[in-house]
Structure 1
Amino acid sequence: MIFASDLDRTLIYSKKLIDHVGEDIVLVERYNGKDLSFMKRTVIDKLGTMREKIMFIPVTTRTIDQYNRIFMIKDCIKPKYAVVSNGGNILKNGEIDKDWRNIIEKKIERVIHYKFVQKRFLESFKDVSWINKMILRDKLFFSIHFNDRDKINLDELNKFKEWAEANHWNVSLQGRKLYIVPSAVNKWDAVLYIKQKERIDKVVSAGDSLLDYPILINADYSMCASHGELFKMIQDKIINKEHIVLTNSMGIDASEEIVNNVVNLSGDSSWNNI
């Protein structure tokens, strides 16, 4: 069984999203001398002990460098695989899977070029003062950082989103970042590649954003944290909930509920009949 899970706001949380740091909530990422991200101790322990029955695969939009900053996962839990760059790269024992990268590069050759997408995006807004920076990540997708989210013209953004989706690019608004990602670069295709390579039957998934939707909608059992972009889209019936289970908990408590559910599924004989 595979447990394919998003990281940020699903299993790990920034300092502003937790109410305390202590024995139960510990530091997992530090960058430029700053403490950035935290996890529940129980979640770390269970991810470490479940490996005999379950293949844990971190699945994140983070780049390779950004993922490697999470020392608690990279150096302590040590998953065999990590899906990074929103599925654009797969790490196996810390090294890039070159076969998968070649597959991705051939796929993105078929979609509209990123330079044209960037130009179209910037021309879609009369006022772009809300944009702090627009970065091409791993030559695969854009992340846009804001000066002021409240200044975004949502009508203009929705029009760009319609154009992008018609041209096989996805747009995801998460907190203080906006992602523009080609549909060929998605988390599920990377997980499916590993699933087939390892000949594993079942996949459990978890996430909180629209970019997690592909792994949630395609997995055998899926959990959405009851906060953030995807939860709101399900509540507003913008996307179909399908078989996705919403957590009872919010924030960092949702991570513990998610991992507990995974552990329970691994010992549930009825799971083999799903």
Structure 2
Amino acid sequence: MTSARTDGATENAAPGGTSGSVSGATMVASDLDRTLIYSPSALQLPMEDELVPNLVSVEVLEGRPHSFMTMAASRRLAELARQVIFVPTTTRTMAQYLRVRFPGVAPRYAITSNGGNILVDGVPDTNWHRATESAIAECGATLAQVRHELKARSQDDWAIKRRVGDDLFCYIVVEPSKLPDDFVESWTQWCEDRGWRVSVQGRKIYSIPLPLTKERAMLAVARRAGAGRVFAAGDGALDAGFLAAADAGIRPPHGELAAVNWHHPTVEIAPRPGVLAGDDMLAWFGARAGLAVPSDRVLLSATS
């Protein structure tokens, strides 16, 4: 990684020289995992072999393909990113995000660490990070206190890994079949009493300070980039705020928000689950923004 930004960029400052940073431009902010990209266990492919789409690897971990999107979605994203300001918006840490490689797409802006970091051309804005740390310091518990309590509550074999994300939040990786029935509820209550929240995403249970939000960072990037309209997509509880804060949003029919039947007046639901939801949401972005994004028919003919 190159050295961190030290040019004094703040929440309301707009870095110069960005392509696409024209006042009134359209910005698309999208979550990654289980929204645009999918691990093998989350693909939910059709049972009929002839209906299974071609897949493109967009992440390699320890020498093996780790995340995928369909070829149609990959091409659609590449075309979309040429016409709008595409901003990956993820709870992944900076290092985890930088493993993702979208063919033909190099986002100028990215939001990682659940809003704790804004990257510009892959370089973290250190002033934004410090401002976020200051906001977190006002919570009722420090990261160290939350980590200590979480470790004390997760000593059994159902807790596989404990991790800290960019010195901003923490999470554990669990074995779901062994997870105690009352753990999530009791841990959620402990965190809520101290200004933190809990999100369960597959095998990961995140503990996040309340000031650490995707919507705060999304709106800051929109101001910097001069975006006049913002559209968003996401599947998890940590995405609800930035979906609602956008001009319009879409979520897949799977994930944490689907599990609790979450709805919002400006948020639509994609028709198909799994990796095909990525296709649907990218098509929705293109139609909503009024852009010439390739249709499935065009994409299919291009690959035949």
Shared fold (TM-score, shorter chain, > 0.5): yes
Question: What is the CA distance between 1:218 and its match in structure 2?
Answer: 1.1
The answer to which of 251-260 and 28-37 deviates more is 28-37
- SS of 1:79's partner is coil
Whole-angstrom CA distance in 1 between matches of 2:266 and 2:179: 33
* Map of 2:168 onto structure 1: 140
Larger Rg over CA atoms: 2
The question of 1:13 aligning with 2:43 is answered no
Q: 1:213 aligns with which of 234, 240, 246?
A: 240
Q: 1:97 aligns with which of 115, 119, 125?
A: 125
* Map of 1:115 onto structure 2: 144
5 Å matches for 1:55-94?
A: 55-72=85-102, 76-94=104-122
* Map of 2:28 onto structure 1: 3
The question of 1:258 aligning with 2:281 is answered yes
Q: Which has the higher contact order (CA 8 A, sep 6+)?
A: 2
* Map of 2:66 onto structure 1: 36
- 1:44 and 1:77 in contact (8 A); partners too: no
Question: What is the CA distance between 1:121 and its match in structure 2?
Answer: 2.7
- 2:56 and 2:74 in contact (8 A); partners too: no
Find runs of 4+ consecutive structure 1 residues off by over 4 angstroms: none
* Map of 2:78 onto structure 1: 48
Instruction: Flag the structure with higher helix content.
Output: 1
What is the Cα-based RMSD across aligned positions, in Å?
2.0
Whole-angstrom CA distance in 2 between matches of 1:12 and 1:240: 22
TM (norm. structure 2) is: 0.80
Question: What is the CA distance between 1:123 and its match in structure 2?
Answer: 3.9
The question of 1:190 aligning with 2:221 is answered no
TM (norm. structure 1) is: 0.88
Question: What is the CA distance between 1:193 and its match in structure 2?
Answer: 0.7
1:115-171 alpha-carbon deviations (Å, 9 max, x no partner): 21123334446x63211121111101112011x212222323212202212322110
Q: 1:130 aligns with which of 154, 158, 171?
A: 158
Question: What is the CA distance between 1:52 and its match in structure 2?
Answer: 4.3
Whole-angstrom CA distance in 1 between matches of 2:225 and 2:161: 39
- 2:36 and 2:278 in contact (8 A); partners too: yes
1:243-273 alpha-carbon deviations (Å, 9 max, x no partner): 32111110011111100011011118xxxxx
Whole-angstrom CA distance in 2 between matches of 1:259 and 1:157: 33
The question of 1:247 aligning with 2:282 is answered no
In percent, how many aligned pairs have the same letter?
32
Unaligned runs of 5+ in 1: 269-274
